[in-house]
Amino acid sequence: MDMQKLKDSEVQTKVKQRINQDALKEDATDDINVEEGWKQVKSIIINIEQVEVGYTDIGYKNPWMTQEILLMMDTRRSYKRINKDKYNEVNREKRGKIVKGQGVMDANKM
């Protein structure tokens, strides 16, 4: 969800109006159970989110984080309780890649 767009007062009022309109439409059916009611509310919110607010791609929080580092983290995690030596080896490699990536990013800033 695009939280920045949701902070805009015009978007907030549109979302409020849509929620009220859609909730009133669904309120006409009184003989539903809790699960069906929750599914209706959830679908209303998801629909409004898709139409009014939209999505943003968050991406990585750290620009030096690469797919290779993420893969190394998963590999390291698989060795955690099985092979302590292999875990430490992969962890050292991962830390080296991170430091190298951070160094490249710091050099680019200057």
What tokens were used for 103?
Answer: 């160094």
Instruction: Reduce the DSSP state of residue 68 to 3 states and report it.
Output: helix
- Residue 67 · residue 32 · CB < 8 Å: no
Domain boundaries, the chain: 3-53, 67-109
What is the Cα–Cα distance from 46 to 59, expressed in whole angstroms?
Answer: 21
The tens place of each residue's pLDDT in the chain, 110 residues long, gives 667 777 888 888 888 888 888 877 766 556 678 888 888 888 888 888 888 777 666 566 777 788 888 888 999 999 988 999 999 999 999 999 888 887 776 666 65
